[in-house]
Structure 1
Amino acid sequence: MASGHVRVGIAGIGYWGINLVRTFAHDSRARVTWVCDPVPEARARALALAPAARSSERFEDLLGADDVDAVVIATPAVTHAALARRALQAGKHVFVEKPLALGVEDAEAVVAAADQAGKTLMVGHLMVYHPAVEHLAELVAGGELGDIRYLYATRVNLGRARRDENALWSFGPHDLSMIDLLVGIAPERVWATGESYLRPGVEDVVFMHLAFPDRRMAHVHLSWLDPRKERRLTVVGSRKMVVFDDVSSEKLRIYDKGYEEPPGFTEFGEYLTIRSSGVYIPHLPMTEPLARECAHFLDCLDSGQSPRSGAASALRVVRVLAAAQRSLEHGSTPVPLAPAGDRE
């Protein structure tokens, strides 16, 4: 790539897109060469961070530019799949914000386009690049927690009500990507219940349940109609339990708690004994997750490795979201997932 830099074109300079402009502009391995948005004021904000870039309101200009190696897409979710496919077919690497698509068929089409083009496809599942989540994944992989029994997540606040996606598709990818990273297999059944209180047909509160083939389970509560801001994931293992709280200054708390079976017993009440050996709060390097995520994308372009939030994991997340959406639309009926959703 020219001068050792990855030349980046960024489409969508809204609430989140401007952060992507800032992050890529500050990384010495990248050069933001194009910014694209239909709103002139948005393009002006982007150019203030990347003054050497060219700007356009037309996505086609990024695709036709010979000084763009990778396209970053931060447009409304309903456009993700179509724009990502077009960029891949134009021979560009693609970083697209979550969710990859609003349906399984569209997500599979994007993955197929990436395979055919031989280009890197990465989806912006930000939470899997959070230092606390990375540390938690290391604990799980190293057997520190024992066998994972169940997980539950809460992602709620009194926030901006969306029009083009419900709470499931807007918030759900964050928690599902973490659960996918930690559990390592796809669920076999998904069901969800929710309600639209603010806009008809757009669920602003959703409760989702996942059942895995090995008796593990997960529960996710999502809402932008709640009095408190909570971003919490609890993982209960056979040896230890962990709470990741992204709102707290203590991001990760590891509880050395659980039940133990004594070697011998005479009464049923003595069969299980509670073990409680305290709480450990690890010191974590709290670098910005977005900076880590964008750096990982550049690493993958340099090395050719598959991204942590690449096609396979992004497709599994979309499959779960689509199953949960079907459950919402059919009276919370459990929806089975095909084995094709399993980790490769």
Structure 2
Amino acid sequence: MGRTPTRVGVVGYGYWGSKHVRVLNSLPDVEVTVIDNDEQRLREAMASFPSCRVATDLADELEAQDAVVVATPPGAHAPVALQALTAGLHTLVEKPLANSIEEAEALVGAAKESNVRLMVGHTFEYNAAVWKLKEIISSGELGRVLYIDTARLSLGRYQNDCNVIWDLAPHDISIVSYLLDEVPQTASVWAQHNFGTEHADVAYLKLEFERSGAPAFVHLSWLHPEKTRRVTVVGEKKMAVYNDMSDNERIRIYDVGVDPKEVDDAASHGFPVSYRTGDIVSPFVPFQEPLLVQDSHFIECVRTGKEPQTTGERGLDIVKVLAATDVAAATGGPALVSGKPDLATSGNGHRMVRS
């Protein structure tokens, strides 16, 4: 006798919604319903996935589903997720969890009240290359981390209801806080609006981490000639680069660096450091699509009741950092992150899932 199918409604059949439908539809014993009020999108869904049901309104599907994936534009994340949670449905929300701290807190509270699982789609925390990078840092191979630099750049995908920070930075904030086991204490911002809506389309963030003392610098852009997805970790001993655009060498470890030395003031070309170079190693990282790992984990949590790796509280943490970037952009100075937790001691959202 087979397992009773898990019924999942995917709300929003846009860029990310269609990916969720593809992944969920490939999982055994999962029945997918595409929910969107755009008839053209529903026709596209039926053509691509004829085994899926379609519907135009989540309200009509609340009793017919076990769980919901919210893949609407960010402005609708909170109201749609709240509707699902209050109806007692396990809910996965695409990043960011909500557009404000208050909305994110309401979702966390609703999940607790209904005793259902709330999960946020921080996809890179389900990426084997990010797991490997964290393993390298934790092993001490790089030495003390001096700083982390990330770049998430491409041409296009302008949004109407958020700036480039709220659109792209949730990934990088979740990655660096995952790698360092703490949420940043302060955020500083430089941002600029060039085209499209009134929202900034290029930005640089500086995130300060209290315990590690290693800042993170995050470059974001909708206005860049090349698609770039890169994380560089600079340590005292070695450096590591995670390049998500690479097909076969997603992580490279560089045995390079500098060593301080006494400068001979009498020498005309004295330098304050000496440089060292060594091997470049690319460890093998078995690849599995992170969205498949993430959504499979969500289904497992729905079926077993276990806590997700990226809980609603984890999503709230990242929303607090994003809210701090709004303050920093408005004031021109560093902004404190509200209610900053210590992830190393709380254990929130940092169990490695390899299902």
Judge same fold: TM > 0.5, yes or no: yes
Q: Indicate if the aligned counterparts of 1:180 and 1:313 stay in contact, CA closer than 8 A.
A: no
Q: Indicate if the aligned counterparts of 2:155 and 2:223 stay in contact, CA closer than 8 A.
A: yes
Compute the displacement of 1:305 (Å): 2.8
- CA-based RMSD of the aligned residues comes to 2.3
For residues 338 and 162 of structure 2, what CA distance do their matches in structure 1 show? 24
For residues 115 and 79 of structure 1, what CA distance do their matches in structure 2 show? 21
Tell me what 2:59 maps to.
Answer: 60
SS at match of 2:182: coil
Tell me what 1:277 maps to.
Answer: 278
SS at match of 2:97: coil
Tell me what 1:145 maps to.
Answer: 142
Tell me what 1:90 maps to.
Answer: 87
1:130 has 2:131 as partner: no
For residues 215-294 of structure 1, what are the structure 2 equivalents within 5 Å? 215-249=213-247, 250-259=249-258, 274-294=275-295
Over 3 Å counting, the alpha-carbon distance change for 1:246 and 1:55 in structure 2 is same
CA deviations 1:260-310 (Å, max 9, x no partner) are 689xx9989899654433111112222212111111212323443322221
State which of 187, 193, 206 in structure 1 corresponds to 2:203: 206
TM-score after normalising by structure 1: 0.91
For residues 191-202 of structure 1, what are the structure 2 equivalents within 5 Å? 191-202=188-199
For residues 204 and 263 of structure 2, what CA distance do their matches in structure 1 show? 43
TM-score after normalising by structure 2: 0.88
Tell me what 2:351 maps to.
Answer: none
Q: Indicate if the aligned counterparts of 1:69 and 1:92 stay in contact, CA closer than 8 A.
A: yes
Compute the displacement of 1:54 (Å): 2.9
For residues 197 and 273 of structure 2, what CA distance do their matches in structure 1 show? 49
Across the two proteins, how many residue pairs are aligned to each other?
A: 337
Tell me what 2:353 maps to.
Answer: none
For residues 7 and 62 of structure 1, what CA distance do their matches in structure 2 show? 10
Over 3 Å counting, the alpha-carbon distance change for 1:138 and 1:74 in structure 2 is same
For residues 28-177 of structure 1, what are the structure 2 equivalents within 5 Å? 28-32=28-32, 34-65=33-64, 68-177=65-174
Which amino acid in structure 2 is aligned with residue 287 of structure 1? Q
Tell me what 2:10 maps to.
Answer: 10
CA deviations 1:228-283 (Å, max 9, x no partner) are 22111101123321111112222111112334689xx9989899654433111112
For residues 340 and 218 of structure 1, what CA distance do their matches in structure 2 show? 16
For residues 193 and 70 of structure 2, what CA distance do their matches in structure 1 show? 28
For residues 158 and 261 of structure 1, what CA distance do their matches in structure 2 show? 40
Over 3 Å counting, the alpha-carbon distance change for 1:267 and 1:29 in structure 2 is farther
Q: Indicate if the aligned counterparts of 1:25 and 1:49 stay in contact, CA closer than 8 A.
A: no
Tell me what 1:333 maps to.
Answer: 333
**Which stretch of the first structure deviates more once superposed, 44-53 or 152-161?**
44-53
Over 3 Å counting, the alpha-carbon distance change for 1:312 and 1:260 in structure 2 is farther
Over 3 Å counting, the alpha-carbon distance change for 1:271 and 1:304 in structure 2 is farther
Q: Indicate if the aligned counterparts of 1:319 and 1:341 stay in contact, CA closer than 8 A.
A: no
Tell me what 1:313 maps to.
Answer: 314
For residues 13 and 266 of structure 1, what CA distance do their matches in structure 2 show? 62
Which amino acid in structure 2 is aligned with residue 55 of structure 1? V
Q: Which runs of 5 or more structure 2 residues have no equivalent in the other structure?
A: 347-355
Q: Indicate if the aligned counterparts of 1:13 and 1:43 stay in contact, CA closer than 8 A.
A: yes
Compute the displacement of 1:51 (Å): 3.1
SS at match of 1:7: strand
Q: Indicate if the aligned counterparts of 2:320 and 2:338 stay in contact, CA closer than 8 A.
A: no
For residues 167 and 81 of structure 1, what CA distance do their matches in structure 2 show? 19
CA deviations 1:91-114 (Å, max 9, x no partner) are 000011110011111111111111
CA deviations 1:181-210 (Å, max 9, x no partner) are 101111111111111111353111111111
Over 3 Å counting, the alpha-carbon distance change for 1:62 and 1:240 in structure 2 is farther
Q: Indicate if the aligned counterparts of 1:207 and 1:220 stay in contact, CA closer than 8 A.
A: yes
For residues 71 and 147 of structure 2, what CA distance do their matches in structure 1 show? 33
Over 3 Å counting, the alpha-carbon distance change for 1:190 and 1:163 in structure 2 is same
Where in structure 1 do 4 or more consecutive aligned residues deviate above 6 Å?
265-272
SS at match of 1:99: coil
For residues 260 and 162 of structure 1, what CA distance do their matches in structure 2 show? 45
Which amino acid in structure 2 is aligned with residue 242 of structure 1? A
Over 3 Å counting, the alpha-carbon distance change for 1:141 and 1:118 in structure 2 is farther
SS at match of 1:3: coil
